Amino acid sequence: MSFQAYIDNIKAKTGKTPDDFYKIAEQKGLLAPGTKTGEIVAWLKEDFDLGHGYSMAIYATFKSKNPEVGKPVKKPQTKK
């Protein structure tokens, strides 16, 4: 299945586009630095009944808009 087919199937199932999901995730604080990929995927599965592959497709659209999504926050190094 092509990536576009995933997106089309998600829209058919939920009525939402990747931009809609991005806005909702932003409002929920799921795009904040330090949010883990698994948290975003779990939210999509729980709230929208998306499977893992479909959730990862939406996550990929988030990453294409904002490469910082899902990256861990780097802790400052301390001198010993």
- Parse the chain into domains and list their residue ranges: 3-65
Residue with tokens 């199932």: 13
What pLDDT does 80 receive?
Answer: 63
State the sign of the Cα–Cα–Cα–Cα dihedral 30, 9, 53, 2. negative
Three-class DSSP labels, 65-78: HCCCCCCCCCCCCC
Q: What is the mean pLDDT of residues 34-38?
A: 90
Q: What is the mean pLDDT of the chain?
A: 91
Query: For residues 11 and 8, what is the distance between their CA atoms, to the nearest angstrom?
Result: 5
pTM: 0.86
Q: What is the mean pLDDT of residues 18-39?
A: 93
Q: How confident is the model at residue 72 (pLDDT cuts 50, 70, 90)?
A: confident
